[in-house]
Structure 1
Amino acid sequence: DECGEYALSPLPWYPGNLAWHLNLSRKQLRKNPALESFHEFLKHESEVGNVTRQEAVSMVPPLFLNVQAGHHILDMCAAPGSKTFQLLEMIHQSKEPGLLPTALVIANDLKVQRCDVLIHNTKRMCTANLIVTNHEAQSFPSCSLAKDDSEAYKDHCKPQRLEFDRVLCDVPCSGDGTLRKSHDLWRKWSSSMGNEFHLLQVNIAMRGIALLKVGGRMVYSTCSMNPVENEAVVAELLRRSGSSVELLDVSTELRELVRRPGLGTWKVNDRGSWFQTHEDVPDSRKNVILPSMFPSSTSIHESHKVWHFK
């Protein structure tokens, strides 16, 4: 009763009531004597893999992948691993009762140290359906599959190229969407921070598209609110890919999730100056401020539905 105001409540948009929210900070959870047994319960369940602590907004991108049994899934920038763990939960839930899943999750990250964290955070799942790799996401290598390598090479059969049914492209970003909790970010943040990530984000996402099966689905996500890192990247992906890629309207999925349409127009900041078009950028900066950072002549907001989630 003393802690009634902190009662657990399910996130209404998460399927199956599998995600719950507790309105307590870690400090409150540790220091409140009335919550000691509950805190110990959470620690134990986390250690054995039954419970994972995760930001609610971080749970959203994997849900839109619509993972199915038997899917091959690539998490391109996976560390620290909360979304990877979520994907592993999905493939184990989608299997037939009594059978091991046939799906595969490949979780990749650029830095070895982050891969160590990724392995530590996912080993609680005790699954054989996870491979952790250490590559630049924008240069992730093509992989091959063979049911039996020895037979494949004996018969001079070329192994089948591994194409992914689902790709999660949660790219490096300026992180300005985390300002509410990352107080140190206020000291170094500027409105032009996203510019340095834009080309990397495009290249990573383009590689993700190249690794995707025909008919597959890729989810692109950031923890930024900057349109240069979001709408501009999506527009550039569509421009480069032409008719081979379609932007999917997911407004009918997770209906309880609060969302709003993406931006159709925006300006780009560079060194304290705002520019409406690439033509307005000084010649000396046009190799840094790219045309793809600006809204296209045919706005993606007009021709497609792009959504921001809260």
Structure 2
Amino acid sequence: MTSGDLWRMSDECGEYALSPLPWYPGNLAWHLNLSRKQLRKNPALESFHEFLKHESEVGNVTRQEAVSMVPPLFLNVQAGHHILDMCAAPGSKTFQLLEMIHQSKEPGLLPTALVIANDLKVQRCDVLIHNTKRMCTANLIVTNHEAQSFPSCSLAKDDSEAYKDHCKPQRLEFDRVLCDVPCSGDGTLRKSHDLWRKWSSSMGNEFHLLQVNIAMRGIALLKVGGRMVYSTCSMNPVENEAVVAELLRRSGSSVELLDVSTELRELVRRPGLGTWKVS
């Protein structure tokens, strides 16, 4: 697709139909101000739609909601990091993490970083593998475990040396943990219309303990000095602020809440709640 095609699309579908997200580093994320129906049905967009499908299939483009891109950015992934994505399916955030480690490598070298992407359900792991295999990377391991009881892992930097010196592999501690937990999903009501029939105020309460247990396991697997990002698709403080408060209470002085107000400055945000009502 040429720049001329993009201008024609803007002319016919409205100004700024395609524009970069100002808060995403490097202009690597773009917003398409068109609905799926417009993209599929408008004859003027046929070539652009085919371009998107082809680039998605070969791994050059990932179609992802803007809000879903935020949690991995706050992980501040560096070259050589060991990263755990605790509840990874369907895999858009995992793919984003893989992009980050490949971008952080030195030119001409393969990254030494490792991403372990976990999910509870086998079927969701299949989807996860399908969505990440486009990356064609050797730096990904997919696991199928309950996140709240994710097992401790061992890692030897060089197996031959470990056997020669009779050294036991060291316990794998993660530099970064992404804890995007199961939730009520009430933050997706604008697009998940079936939730209007299923949602109740008690759903957040039902998920709270599971969310705390998953996040506590993530903290236990985190290296000293490491960073964990906790996120949900919910607006309910029982699933967000209340979980964070419980993590801090249980962890004492071993964990601190980071101030990231200076990161992604153009991202619109607001402070978390200090009090909430449990219904």
Name the TM tier (shorter chain).
Answer: over 0.9
Which of the residues 262, 265, 275 maps onto 1:255? 265
Contact 2:17/2:34 (<8 A) preserved: no
What's the CA shift for 1:151?
Answer: 3.7
Q: Distance in 1 between matches of 2:203 and 2:173?
A: 34
- How many aligned residue pairs are there? 268
Displacement, 1:101? 0.5
Please give the alpha-carbon distance, in whole angstroms, between the structure 2 residues aligned to 1:15 and 1:35. Answer: 27
**Does the aligned pair in 2 maintain the 1:110–1:137 contact within 8 Å?**
yes
* Counterpart contact for 1:13–1:257, Cα < 8 Å: yes
Contact (CA 8 Å) 1:67, 1:91: kept in 2 or not? Answer: yes
Shift of 1:6: 5.4
CA RMSD of aligned residues (A): 1.7
SS at structure 2 position matched to 1:78? coil
Per-residue CA deviations over 1:105-151 (Å, capped at 9, x if unaligned) read 00000000000000000000000000000000000000001123344
Tell me, what secondary structure is at the counterpart of 2:15? helix
Per-residue CA distance 1:223-271 (angstroms, 9 max, x = gap): 001111001100010011000001000001001111011111111xxxx
Q: Is the 8 A contact 1:80 1:118 kept in 2?
A: yes
Provide the C-alpha distance between the structure 1 equivalents of 2:202 and 2:111, rounded to a whole number of angstroms: 45
1:156 CA displacement: 2.5
| Aligned-pair identity (%) | 100
Aligned-pair CA distance for 1:24: 0.8
Question: Could you tell me how far apart the structure 1 residues matched to 2:25 and 2:56 are?
Answer: 20
TM-score relative to the length of structure 2? 0.94
Distance 2:250 2:30 in 1: 40
2:175 aligns with 165
Residue 7 of structure 1 and its aligned partner are, at CA, apart by 2.3
Secondary structure at the residue paired with 1:158? Answer: coil
Q: What is the deviation of 1:155?
A: 2.9
Contact 2:39–2:46 under 8 Å retained in 1: yes
**Residues 65 and 166 of structure 1 are in contact (CA less than 8 Å); yes or no, is this contact kept in structure 2?**
yes
TM-score when normalising by structure 1: 0.85
Query: Are the equivalent residues in 2 in contact too, given 1:173–1:194 (CA < 8 A)?
Result: yes
Report the more deviating stretch, 63-72 or 155-164.
155-164
Output one character per residue of 1:60-118: Cα deviation in whole Å (capped at 9) or x when no partner.
Answer: 00000000000000000000000000000000000001110010000000000000000
* TM superposition shift of 1:154: 4.3
- Report if aligned partners of 2:82, 2:175 keep a CA contact under 8 Å in 1: yes
Q: Is the Cα contact below 8 Å between 2:162 and 2:169 reproduced in 1?
A: yes
> 1:188 deviation in Å?
1.3
Structure 1 residue 2: Cα displacement: 1.6
- Verify: 1:55 aligned to 2:54, yes or no: no
Equivalent-residue separation in structure 2 for 1:228 and 1:58 (angstroms) = 20
Contact 2:86 2:179 in 1 (8 A): yes
Q: Could you list the runs of 5+ residues in structure 1 that have no partner in the other structure? A: 268-309
Indicate conservation of the 8 Å contact 1:152/1:158, yes or no.
yes
Match of 2:203, SS? Answer: coil
Cα shift at 1:153: 3.5
SS in 2 for 1:52: coil
Q: Matched residue of 2:179: which SS?
A: strand
Measure, in 2, the Cα distance between the counterparts of 1:56 and 1:246.
Answer: 27
Residue pair 1:6, 1:24 contacting (<8 A) in 2 also: no
Q: What residue ranges of structure 2 are gaps of 5+ in the alignment?
A: 1-10
Matches of residues 209-220 of structure 1 in structure 2 within 5 Å? 209-220=219-230
- Report the CA distance between 1:3 and its aligned residue: 2.3
